[in-house]
Structure formats: structure tokens, C-alpha cells
């Protein structure tokens, strides 16, 4: 970020000591200025700690950055993931027309989409049968990270669109209890497994995949049964031979699709099976609509860019180290887990593209929950805690269930939270109310001090017109581009994840040590000591 603009913003914030209540009082049209609508998504960002002058300076950070150039480079397929020398082309998976960046990539995408569509049709019409001739009724996705979080999140959100043809389940964790419990409730004759791993070297996925393969083979007493009950998704389809999965059952993703951006690819097969291929395409269309908005809209009217600069305002100028997402829809409950990976794996970096230590804080801890549950769990910290936690509230305008009063109360709670965060309540108002209780002066002062809520806490509110495939596609793409824009402003690579890779690398020798029953002096004393304790017989 441009240091001179950063210093100007710092100086203004120090001198102005902004009060949102005063800002709204002095500008009756603030809400009109600071809200946006893009198709099925509405964004109110008026309840934030900036005035017109500071907002313009935040936009200057964008104008003085390489965001416009890097955005063009991303969509053209240039290798903006410099540490891995890769293109970043998940957006190509959702182009409405032929991919314009590379003719061969366009053909590959079109071919793989056709194969996904054919698979869904075969499962639906019963022509894909298990080894004993029964129709497929259960599909189990074995994958972790991007191969799990995205599909699971979308499938939960779009429950109202589910086909009754198949039931989708997910296994991700390597904890043996999870897969044991699932297999106990599965019928081998009607179950299809999806082994989803970009590299096809992910330890958790390979171990669980092996257990599932052995389960099928042991049931049918024939290795040929694998062909009826397994498909794979990977960049290297040859590795699927590890499980004897035939090539016709191997679906491809590409190196230019990051794992956390892969739900738009064949990794999204569970989504297509759950909601139908036409609805899967509608989801891609919604994401594409947000892509076009991000590419073409002026920064002052650009949803992803605005969310990015607001997030930077708090992390870099108010020194907030976490941000929250609170969803007022139970169907969006897995969105928080998905966004945690998308955000923290992307921007959890501190080295710039120039291989220097960033002079500003980069990345934040993202967390959240489902309202109104979260109100009874941790909103107390938001209201009276000593730290600022910027919040994105997400709610849905139109319902598709019959309990209208529940929905009205749900919306009321969401709006009340953002209002309370902004306005709070002051000691004088509390004391006036408490005087009816005939408390002593000291007790009145004591109670009112504890009940005082300072307010001036920021939030955004995102409203989905309804939860449908297109809107969900747009919502996910909104956050993808927000995170990308932040990374560009921070001058970091949002598309590698070397911290994740280190943990995978170190797990190998530790596993070998535990397998052999002996610890090693090569480990640090803590790790070696824990291994020895685990191996020690009771």
C-alpha cells in the first residue's frame, strides 16, 4: 500500500475520532450513499467507521495499487501465482461462453463439464449401477480442505433444491471413528465413493479412500467392483490407479485451480448430484455475474473492492486482528468454515511479492456463527469487549418455509444487533430507567456502569434476495474477489499455501516413528517426548 496514503488515513483517524451516531446525524443520506445492489445481493456498508474523506482515501489505495492490472492478468490466465509459477483461472470454470484466455483450456473445461453432466444423468436415470446391479442411492465424498468445505457448504445451503435421487455424505477428517460410523450405516451395493484430491497425495484422503476400497472389495470379494463404486477427481488422473479406478471414472481438475477455489470444477460433482446439473450451471452463472461486476464496476460501486478496503481499514488502521461473519440462516451454517479457509489460507502471509516483510498487518482471524445462536454465545464480546471485531451480517429476505413469524423475528434480531453495535446505550439513559427501582445512588452507579454499552462498533449487512443456486454462486465469488483484492493491496500472493505444505511434510517422519514403535532423537525434545508417551505401554 502507498505509504503516503496510509499516513494520511492514520492522521485523519487520530484527529477525527469518528462517532457513527454523529456521522449519521450529520449526513441524513449516508445510507443512500453507502449501499449497493447486484442482482440478488444487497450490501449496506454505511455502519462503518469512515466519513467521506477517509472513504475516498481508501479508494485511492485501490487506484494507486496494481489491482486493475492484476485483475486483468488473472482473467487472462497470466501466471500471477508467482511462487508456484501458475495461472489462477478458477473464474474460467464459470465463463458463460468459450474461454477467451486460452482455446485449449476452454475445450478442456467444456469437455469436463459434459462428463459431469453425463455422470449426473447416469446416476439419476439408474444406468450407473453398483456391482450387484442396484442403483446408486448414496454418494460419499472423501476429501479435505477445498475438496470438502466448498461442496458441503453449498449442498447445505441449497437443501431446498436437493434431488431425491441420491443422498450425499462427506468424510474429511482422518479420525477413524468418522468413517467407521459412516460405513456402518451404508449399503455397499448402492454406494458410490468420490475420492477428491487435487494432488492425489493428501494423507487423510488416501487413508480414508483405502478403507473405503477395502470395504467394497471385502463385500463383493472381487476387485472389479471398484469400477462400479468409485470415481476420482485429481490433477493427475494416473495416480487414481493406486485404487484401481478405471480411467473413465477419473475426472480432472487443473493446476490453475486452487483447492479452495475448486468447487466450480469437477470437485463440485457432489453439488451437481445433490441439486441437479442445471442448478449447478445456475450457480456458475451467479459467480460469473459477480466476476463481470468485479471486472467492470467502478471501485466506489464495486462490492468486492468495497468489502476489501473496509476490511483493510480495520486490520491496518484500527489494528483489529479478527473479523466475524454471522449468518442469520441455518442453511448458511457451513459458510463460516468455508470462508475461514478461503480467507486465512489465502492471505495468511507476511512476506510480500518483493520477498520483504510487509510493513502492515496482513490477514486476520476469521470466525463467526449462526444467529441467533451466536447472540447467546459470544456477541457479548462484540458489544462490551475492549476490542473491535468488524462483522459481516448475512441474512435472507425471502423465505421458503411456512413459519413467517420465525423469519420476521430472525430478521429483527439481525438488524437489532447491527443497530446495538453502532448506537450502544449511555449511562444517563440507563440510570434514568433504573431510578424506578429505588436503588441507592452507589448501587445505581454500580449497575449502570456494568450495563453501559459504548457502541461505535462497525458492521456490514449483506442481504440475499433468497437462497438459490445463482445467488449462492454470486455470494461465494464476492468473497473470493474481496480476498484477492486485499492480497493485491497488501502485495502478497493469495494463491499459495506453504504453511499448509510444511505440516504435511513433517507428518511423514512422525508417522514412520510411531509405526516403528520408536521415537527419534532428530525430533525436538517436546515432540520426541510426546511420541514416547504415546508408545509407552500402560
Give the 3-state secondary structure of 498-526.
HHHHHHHHHHHHHHHHHHHCCCCCCCCHH
Question: Phi then psi for 32, rounded to 5 degrees?
Answer: -60, -35
Residue 345 known to be catalytic: yes
Q: 377-409: string of b/e by CB count within 10 Å (b at 16+)?
A: ebbeebbeeeebbbbbbbbbeebeeeeeeebee
In this predicted model, what pLDDT tens digit does every residue of 336-379 receive, in sequence order? 999 999 999 999 999 999 999 998 889 999 999 999 999 999 99
pLDDT of residue 537: 79
Q: Per-residue pLDDT tens for 107-162?
A: 999 999 999 999 999 999 999 999 999 999 999 999 999 999 999 999 999 999 99
Beta bridge mates, 394: 327, 462
Q: Is 504 a catalytic residue?
A: yes
Active-site residue, selected from the candidate residues 29, 376, 402, 441: 376
- Grid cell digits, residue 115: 462428463
* Tens digits of residue pLDDT in 181-221: 999 999 999 999 999 999 888 889 999 999 999 999 999 99
With 0-12 / 13-18 / 19 or more C-beta atoms within 10 angstroms meaning exposed / middle / buried, residue 415 is middle
Active-site residue, from 504, 512, 518, 532: 504
Can you tell me the distance from the alpha carbon of 464 to that of 337, in angstroms, rounded to the nearest whole number?
Answer: 19
Phi and psi torsions of 328, nearest 5°: -95, 60
Alpha helices (runs of H) in 97-253, residue ranges in sequence order: 103-125, 149-157, 176-184, 203-220, 226-229
Question: Residue 507 above 80 pLDDT?
Answer: yes
Beta bridge partners of 369: 326
Q: What is the pLDDT of residues 232-282, one digit of tens each?
A: 999 987 877 788 999 999 999 999 999 999 999 999 999 999 999 999 999
Determine the Cα–Cα distance for residues 20 and 454; give it in Å rounded to an integer. 11
At 97, the pLDDT band (50, 70, 90 cuts) reads low
% residues pLDDT > 90 (the chain): 83
What's residue 100's pLDDT?
61
- Higher-confidence residue: 430 or 334? 334
DSSP state of 464: E
- 423: cell is 448506537
* Distances in whole angstroms, Cα of residue 302 to Cα of each of 46, 231, 386, 394: 15, 40, 32, 18
Tell me: pLDDT of 98 over 60: no
pLDDT in tens, 391-418: 999 999 998 889 999 999 999 999 999 9
Please give the mean pLDDT across all residues of the chain. Answer: 94
The H or E element spanning position 352 is: none
pLDDT of residue 521: 76
Question: CA 58 → CA 2, 310, 364, 427, distances in Å?
Answer: 11, 8, 18, 34
- Of 112, 137, 204, 345, the active-site residue reads 345
Sheet holding 365-370, edge to edge: 35-38, 41-44, 459-464, 391-396, 322-328, 365-370
Report the largest interatomic distance among the alpha carbons of the chain, rounded to a whole angstrom: 84
Amino acid at each position: 500500500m502507498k505509504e503516503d496514503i496510509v499516513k494520511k488515513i492514520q492522521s485523519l483517524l487520530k484527529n477525527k475520532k469518528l462517532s457513527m451516531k454523529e456521522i449519521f446525524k450529520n449526513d441524513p443520506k449516508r445510507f443512500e450513499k453507502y449501499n449497493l445492489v447486484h442482482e440478488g445481493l444487497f450490501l449496506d456498508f454505511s455502519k462503518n467507521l469512515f466519513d467521506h474523506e477517509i472513504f475516498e482515501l481508501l479508494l485511492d489505495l485501490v487506484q494507486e495499487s496494481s489491482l486493475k492490472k492484476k485483475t486483468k492478468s488473472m482473467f487472462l490466465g497470466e501466471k500471477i501465482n508467482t511462487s508456484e509459477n501458475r495461472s489462477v483461472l478458477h473464474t474460467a470454470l464459470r465463463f458463460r461462453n468459450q474461454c477467451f484466455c486460452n482455446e485449449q483450456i476452454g475445450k478442456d473445461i467444456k469437455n469436463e463439464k459434459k462428463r459431469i453432466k453425463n455422470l449426473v444423468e447416469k446416476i439419476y436415470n439408474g444406468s450407473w449401477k453398483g456391482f450387484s446391479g442396484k442403483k446408486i442411492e448414496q454418494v460419499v465424498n472423501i476429501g479435505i480442505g477445498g475438496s470438502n468445505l466448498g461442496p458441503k457448504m453449498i449442498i447445505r445451503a441449497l437443501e431446498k433444491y436437493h434431488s431425491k435421487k441420491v443422498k450425499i455424505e462427506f468424510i474429511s477428517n482422518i479420525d477413524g471413528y468418522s468413517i467407521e460410523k459412516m460405513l456402518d450405516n451404508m449399503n455397499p451395493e448402492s454406494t458410490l465413493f468420490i475420492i477428491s484430491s487435487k494432488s492425489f497425495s493428501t494423507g487423510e484422503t488416501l487413508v480414508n479412500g483405502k478403507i473405503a476400497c477395502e470395504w467394497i472389495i471385502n463385500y463383493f470379494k472381487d476387485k472389479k467392483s471398484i469400477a462400479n463404486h468409485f470415481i476420482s477427481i485429481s490433477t493427475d488422473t494416473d495416480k487414481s490407479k493406486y485404487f484401481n479406478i478405471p480411467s473413465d471414472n477419473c475426472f480432472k481438475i487443473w493446476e490453475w485451480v486452487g483447492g479452495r477455489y475448486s468447487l466450480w470444477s469437477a470437485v463440485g460433482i457432489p453439488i451437481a448430484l445433490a441439486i441437479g446439473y442445471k442448478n449447478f450451471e445456475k450457480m456458475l452463472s451467479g459467480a460469473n455475474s459477480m466476476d463481470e461486476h468485479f471486472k467492470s464496476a467502478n471501485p466506489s460501486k464495486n462490492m468486492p473492492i468495497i468489502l476489501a478496503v473496509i476490511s483493510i481499514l480495520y486490520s491496518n488502521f484500527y489494528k483489529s486482528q479478527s473479523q466475524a461473519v454471522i449468518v442469520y440462516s441455518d442453511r448458511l451454517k457451513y459458510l463460516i468454515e468455508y470462508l475461514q479457509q478461503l480467507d486465512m489460507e489465502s492471505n495468511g502471509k507476511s512476506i510480500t511479492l518483493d520477498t520483504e516483510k510487509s510493513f502492515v498487518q496482513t490477514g486476520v482471524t476469521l470466525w463467526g456463527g449462526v444467529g441467533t445462536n451466536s447472540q447467546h454465545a459470544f456477541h457479548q464480546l462484540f458489544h462490551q469487549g475492549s476490542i473491535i471485531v468488524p462483522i459481516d451480517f448475512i441474512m435472507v429476505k425471502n423465505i421458503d418455509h411456512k413459519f413467517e413469524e420465525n423469519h420476521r423475528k430472525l430478521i429483527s434480531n439481525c438488524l437489532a444487533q447491527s443497530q446495538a453495535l453502532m448506537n450502544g446505550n449511555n449511562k444517563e439513559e440507563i440510570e434514568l430507567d433504573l431510578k424506578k427501582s429505588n436503588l441507592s445512588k452507589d448501587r445505581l452507579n454500580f449497575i449502570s456502569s456494568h450495563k453501559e454499552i459504548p457502541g461505535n462498533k462497525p458492521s456490514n449487512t449483506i442481504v440475499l434476495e433468497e437462497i438459490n443456486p445463482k445467488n449462492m454462486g454470486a455470494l461465494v465469488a464476492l468473497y473470493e474477489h474481496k480476498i484477492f483484492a486485499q492480497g493485491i493491496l497488501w502485495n502478497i500472493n493469495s494463491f499459495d499455501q506453504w504453511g499448509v505444505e510444511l505440516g504435511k511434510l513433517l507428518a511423514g517422519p512422525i508417522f514412520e516413528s510411531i509405526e516403528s514403535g520408536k521415537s527419534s532423537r532428530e525430533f525436538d525434545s517436546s515432540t520426541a517426548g510426546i511420541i514416547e508417551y504415546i508408545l509407552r505401554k500402560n
